[in-house]
């Protein structure tokens, strides 16, 4: 934003921005509008917009209630949107426990776990298991980065679901994966 907006204009744009992306923090909004965090807080108060934590929680509550294929606690990251057999979004806040000591780079299996559990969560089936995963780790992710994963169902053939997941940090793609997931019926055909 190249110039400061008037308060009324700022509040209009603020509402729009938060609608588009409810996960923007007060700090990020302050940066966008080149005002103090305190100003953003007052804006939200006047506009009756809850803080980011609460906004996320509300979305999460709706999202988790829809999931059938996996227990809530088994989803890695926080699920914040879902449309069964279509798409879903989750957020994973990375921390030091997830990273390599030397390089401070987040380990691949955490990124994989977020994407894989999201790919399973969006499916409209009771039990689902991953068969194949083709994954690309496109950029290093550093401890503290916030991973936003988006899964889309690509196609279904009988009990075979193809799901694509893209994971971003600060709008930049850091990971992509294609997952082939089977629902339980298919698995039991093959024995075991």
Q: Give yes or no for residue 80 binding a second copy (CB under 8 A).
A: no
Distances in whole angstroms, Cα of residue 51 to Cα of each of 4, 17, 23, 73, 145:
23, 14, 9, 24, 20
Q: Give yes or no for residue 105 binding a second copy (CB under 8 A).
A: yes
**Three-class secondary structure of residue 11 per DSSP:** helix
Q: Give yes or no for residue 65 binding a second copy (CB under 8 A).
A: no
Q: Give yes or no for residue 143 binding a second copy (CB under 8 A).
A: no
**Three-class secondary structure of residue 20 per DSSP:** helix
Q: Give yes or no for residue 68 binding a second copy (CB under 8 A).
A: no
Instruction: Label residue 136 exposed, middle or buried (CB < 10 Å: 0-12, 13-18, 19+).
Output: exposed
Nearer to a second copy, 4 or 68 (CB): 68
Distance CA 108, CA 171 (A): 19
Among 139, 154, 173, 185, which residue sits at the site for a second copy (rule: CB under 8 A)? 139
Q: Give yes or no for residue 112 binding a second copy (CB under 8 A).
A: yes
Among 3, 157, 158, 192, which residue sits at the site for a second copy (rule: CB under 8 A)? 192
Residue of 59, 81, 103, 90 whose CA lies nearest to 167: 90
Query: Which positions touch a second copy (CB under 8 A)?
Result: 70-71, 74, 76, 100-103, 105, 107-110, 112-113, 116-117, 127, 129-137, 139-140, 184, 187, 192
């Amino acid at each position: 934003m190249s110039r400061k907006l008037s308060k009324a204009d700022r509040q209009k744009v603020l509402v729009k921005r938060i609608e588009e992306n409810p996960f923007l923090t007060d700090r990020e909004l302050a940066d966008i509008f080149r005002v103090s965090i305190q100003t953003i807080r007052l804006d939200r108060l006047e506009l009756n917009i809850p803080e980011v934590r609460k906004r996320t929680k509300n979305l999460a509550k709706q999202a988790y209630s829809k999931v059938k294929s996996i227990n809530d606690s088994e989803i890695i990251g926080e699920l914040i949107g879902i449309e069964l057999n279509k798409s879903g979004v989750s957020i994973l806040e990375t921390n030091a426990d997830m990273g390599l000591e030397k390089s401070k780079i987040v380990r691949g299996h955490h990124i994989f776990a977020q994407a894989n559990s999201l790919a399973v969560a969006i499916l409209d089936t009771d039990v689902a298991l991953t068969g194949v995963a083709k994954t690309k780790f496109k950029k290093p992710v550093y401890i503290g980065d916030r991973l936003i994963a988006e899964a889309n169902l690509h196609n279904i053939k009988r009990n075979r679901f193809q799901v694509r997941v893209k994971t971003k940090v600060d709008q930049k793609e850091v990971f992509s994966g294609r997952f082939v997931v089977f629902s339980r019926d298919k698995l039991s055909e093959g024995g075991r």
